[in-house]
Amino acid sequence: MHIEIKLGAFAAALLIGANLYATNYYFDASVGNDHNNGTSIKSPFKSLEAITQINIKSGDKLLLKKGETFYGTLALKNIAGTVRQPILISAYGSAQKMPVIDAKGKLNGILIEDCSYVKVCDIEITANGGGLENLNPKQNYTRSGILLTTTKDGTYSGITLENLFIRDIFFEEPGYARTTAETLTGNGTQNYGWGIKVTSANTEAVLDNILISKCHVKNVSHSGIRFTGSFAVATKNAKNIRNVKVYDNIVEYSGGPAMQASVVENIEFKRNATDHSGSGDDSRKWARGSGLWVWGCYNAIIEHNSFRHANGPGDSAGCHIDFNNKNVIIQYNVSENNAGGFIEVLGNNYNCTYRYNVSINDGSRIHVEGKTLGAGTMMGVNGFVGFGKKAVGPFNLYIYNNTIFVKEGRNPEVGFASTVQGVLVANNIVCAKSGVTPDLRKNFLPQSGPIPNVIFKNNLYLSENNWPKASQVMITDIAPILGDPKFVNQGGVSIKDYIPQNAELIKNRGITIEKIPGDTIGLVGGLQVKRDILGRKITGLPDMGAIEMK
């Protein structure tokens, strides 16, 4: 017997947890009035401060009128939507231009504090200078286009930032100038502007399930998109920013790193484009920064991104692995013309990899005493874990099936420090037209002792000077292959320009990648990959480099 049960709209809503009383609130900077109730296009609020008049519930929408500019900060505090009915901050109207939040003189364009299940989309944010009222000259300030943070204990989940344009974020007024000494500091010591800042300094608070997608961050004085977590006491020393996805974003002309993550567990950077990180085109910028770097992270996947034109006297690689990480996978990326270089790995890192990436003309920086922190590198691996601290590791680093091209006139360094324990370098193509140079610092020299557990073989070099002699460098290839890979368009800037044509040297000439001796872990997801950087299926033995020949 079949019994059909029909639910009314109210009952159905209760079953799915929907809020039948969700409200749209409208904001119009031109014709609005904060004495309105804001619930109709005909009676909108005027200012962002009107949000304090609203009891925001799940399913509510706060809508800013397109084409209008709103001055100040949109502060979202202690509000929570649900998985099915997040709180939405977005735009309305027929104008082509996004609504603009201008936070000049304020600390944040949008503040999201102790919130869950909030989505912000389709808004432009700027904050170009203005200092700060009641500024304490002894305190350093960070101005953010968006600040996502916690102050209270608990777990805060489900924040989405999508299709936002964040531009021109500076604390200081035009004309303010940084010094060389400031640029040489580890992260900057002065007041700066960041694009999107995510931080959970409260060790009893957790930020979980964050998505930043299709955002464009342009022209900020320091970091573009940055995460800063801590070790959460309440969760047995787990990291208190977790389960983060950073997809399909563009960050360009950031004065510091374009993207950065510290103390985050389970983070994915996919299909992002960074350009001119560490930019010095405005004297207010820090003028130093990699396209992306991670510190103190556990389980990071960095794939299908482009990192181009990083600048600066230190770091400033396309993508580098700072210290204290585990399980960082850097694969399927293109790295082009980054002053600091292609591969930089620091100390106390475990089971990380660079594989199936294409590096084009990386490592142009020349060491100048007192003005830079080192030369640009092709591969630079050391145990640095902080100034004044004993170097440690890294441990079990896998570098395989990358394609590296360096044009005439550039001589990036290579070096593996004596603290390294376990490294594999195989199946890479190294095509350096003018050769490379060894890192001559003391702990990079063979006299400082052998590196244990090394697999270094079966790499293709354009010529013998594409890797230093055994007397100059800690480790060398025990079975090198010499020859020209014959790229389709040597000197181009796209991945497809580096499709090799020399089948005799390339096709099925790679070796099967196995675990480094003494390593019982390998890599997350395994050592064998099914496809190359272009998505071509790998059959049989892998080809040399990042691209499989057809």
5 pLDDT tier (thresholds 50, 70, 90): very low
Three-state SS at 231: strand
pLDDT tens digit sequence for 100-123: 999 999 999 999 999 999 999 999
Please name the residue that has the structure tokens 């309440």: 234
Helix (H) or strand (E) segment spanning residue 16:
helix 9-16
State which amino acid sits at residue 258.
A
Mean pLDDT on 315-321: 97
Average pLDDT over all residues of the chain: 94
> Is residue 289 within 8 Å of residue 315, measured between CB atoms?
yes
Please name the residue that has the structure tokens 């440690």: 392
Mean pLDDT on 475-502: 97
CA 373 to chain centre: 22
- The residue length of the chain stands at 550
Mean pLDDT on 67-86: 97
Three-state SS at 190: coil
pLDDT, position 541: 96
Domain-wise residue ranges, the chain = 361-550
Over 80: is that where the pLDDT of 235 sits?
no
> Is residue 312 within 8 Å of residue 183, measured between CB atoms?
yes
pLDDT tens digit sequence for 10-20: 554 545 556 66
232 pLDDT tier (thresholds 50, 70, 90): confident
Cα angle at 537 between 531 and 540, to 5 degrees? 105
Over 70: is that where the pLDDT of 236 sits?
no
What are the beta bridge partners of residue 275? Answer: 252, 308
For residue 187, give every residue at least 6 positions away whose Cβ sits within 8 Å of its Cβ, in sequence order, or none: 256
Q: How many CB atoms lie within 10 A of CB 486?
A: 15
Q: Which is nearest to 60 in space by CA: 83, 88, 29, 41?
A: 88
State which amino acid sits at residue 301.
I
pLDDT, position 18: 60
Mean pLDDT on 255-273: 97
> Is residue 422 within 8 Å of residue 519, measured between CB atoms?
yes
C-alpha dihedral sign at 544, 546, 549, 550: positive
Mean pLDDT on 461-482: 94
DSSP single-letter state for residue 53 = G
Q: Which structure tokens are listed for 339?
A: 């002053």
Cα 138 to Cα 193: distance, rounded to the nearest angstrom: 18
Peptide bond into 480 cis (omega under 30): no
> Is residue 348 within 8 Å of residue 394, measured between CB atoms?
yes
CA dist 33 to 46, 47, 56, 98, 138, Å? 5, 8, 19, 21, 39
Cα 75 to Cα 52: distance, rounded to the nearest angstrom: 9
pLDDT, position 159: 98
What whole-number percentage of the chain has pLDDT above 70? 95
Long-range contacts of 387-390 (CB under 8 A, 24+ apart): none
pLDDT tens digit sequence for 25-71: 999 999 999 999 999 999 999 999 999 999 999 999 999 999 999 99
pLDDT, position 447: 84
Mean pLDDT on 327-351: 98
Over 90: is that where the pLDDT of 322 sits?
yes
Q: Which is nearest to 220 in space by CA: 129, 307, 306?
A: 129
Cα 153 to Cα 114: distance, rounded to the nearest angstrom: 9
For residue 84, give every residue at least 6 positions away whose Cβ sits within 8 Å of its Cβ, in sequence order, or none: 16, 17, 18
> Is residue 533 within 8 Å of residue 401, measured between CB atoms?
no
Three-state SS at 343: strand
pLDDT tens digit sequence for 487-500: 999 999 999 999 99
Over 70: is that where the pLDDT of 474 sits?
yes
467 pLDDT tier (thresholds 50, 70, 90): very high
pLDDT, position 133: 87
> Is residue 508 within 8 Å of residue 543, measured between CB atoms?
yes
Which stretch of 5-9, 234-238, 335-339, 409-413 has the lowest confidence by average pLDDT?
5-9
532, exposed or middle or buried, with CB in 10 Å at 0-12, 13-18, 19+?
Answer: buried
